[in-house]
């Protein structure tokens, strides 16, 4: 069994064939899905998916969508976490997707404020945090070290170096491996993949984004997690079965599935 540890199955890209997408994934051996939230407006769709037996969900405020976030969103996130703790909402397995996207310098200060607030919520609730980290690995690692989050979390779509991966692992985080590992030019990332301990990563697709090299220009979907697994196994010199078992066990541990 495989778990897609990060996929945006609430996105409108799947509105026309969402159930068929799930069937294709299950037929390929992808049996569970972790769906993070991105904006408050999208949380209802995420929570609706969380009613399914094969879907676990997170709620968060994503740095890519800063223009969509409004005053009151953090308070609404706290209210959703309260409802979850009282059993009034689908079980949340983490806070996210949140983080820093340093490509957008004009919103960077606001990103850090929003990110820090969500990290503090994760610390107070002892929940893992799902982090989007683009061109900011070292700065994010420094902040995580300062806060010492008790439940750790996931560095989603990791593309950094072996040294950066090791820093995150030392902080109790795991890294997410997806379509980026399949691209021929991703040599640094591929070295990092080979260097990871068996319990240091999970497999993910980030569907509908981040397609594999073999599906460039297409909509990504969880069925292709099997191909990610195969390539990770090749990079690590292990069997597909071993990588599938290790990544699934790590996802279970991280999100308490």
CA distance 193 to 228: 12
Q: Evaluate the omega torsion of the peptide bond into residue 97 and state whether it is cis, within 30 degrees of 0.
A: yes
CA distance 116 to 114: 6
For a pLDDT cut of 70, what percent of the chain falls above it?
Answer: 100
Q: Evaluate the omega torsion of the peptide bond into residue 141 and state whether it is cis, within 30 degrees of 0.
A: no
Confidence of residue 144 (pLDDT cuts 50, 70, 90): very high
pLDDT value, residue 163: 98
- pTM of the predicted model as reported, rounded to 2 decimal places: 0.97
| 234 three-class SS | helix
pLDDT value, residue 91: 79
pLDDT value, residue 86: 81
Q: Three-state SS string across 62-115, please?
A: CHHHHHHCCCCHHHHHHHHHHHHHCCCCCCEEEEEEEEEECCCHHHHHHHHHHH
Give residue-wise pLDDT tens across range 106-120.
999 999 999 999 999
Contact 116, 132 (CB under 8 A): no
pLDDT value, residue 250: 98
Kindly state the average pLDDT of the residues 139-157: 97
Kindly state the average pLDDT of the residues 174-202: 97
Report the half-sphere exposure of 203 (CA within 13 A, side-chain side). Answer: 32
pLDDT value, residue 87: 77
For a pLDDT cut of 90, what percent of the chain falls above it?
Answer: 96
Give residue-wise pLDDT tens across range 232-241.
999 999 999 9
> Is residue 90's pLDDT more than 90?
no
Domains of the chain, with CATH numbers? Answer: 2-255 (3.20.20.140)
């Amino acid at each position: 069994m495989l778990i897609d540890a990060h996929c945006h199955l609430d996105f409108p890209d799947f509105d026309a064939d969402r159930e068929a997408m799930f069937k294709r994934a299950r037929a390929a051996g992808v049996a569970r899905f972790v769906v993070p939230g991105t904006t408050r407006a999208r949380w209802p769709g995420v929570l609706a998916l969380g009613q399914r037996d094969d879907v676990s969900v997170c709620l968060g405020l994503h740095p890519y969508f800063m223009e969509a976030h409004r005053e009151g969103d953090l308070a609404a996130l706290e209210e959703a976490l309260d409802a979850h703790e009282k059993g009034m909402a689908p079980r949340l397995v983490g806070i996210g997707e949140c983080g820093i996207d340093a490509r957008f310098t004009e919103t960077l200060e606001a990103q850090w404020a929003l990110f820090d607030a969500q990290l503090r919520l994760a610390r107070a609730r002892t929940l893992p945090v799902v982090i989007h980290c683009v061109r900011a690995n070292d700065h994010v690692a420094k902040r995580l070290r300062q806060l010492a989050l008790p439940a750790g979390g996931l560095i989603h779509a990791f593309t950094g170096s072996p040294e950066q991966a090791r820093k995150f692992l030392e902080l109790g985080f795991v890294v997410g491996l997806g379509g980026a590992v399949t691209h021929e030019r991703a040599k640094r990332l591929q070295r990092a993949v080979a260097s990871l301990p068996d319990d240091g990563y999970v497999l993910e697709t980030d569907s509908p984004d981040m397609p594999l090299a073999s599906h460039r220009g297409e909509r990504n979907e969880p069925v292709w997690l099997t191909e990610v697994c195969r390539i990770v196994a090749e990079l690590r010199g292990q069997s597909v079965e071993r990588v599938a078992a290790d990544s699934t066990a790590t996802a279970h541990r991280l999100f308490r599935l």
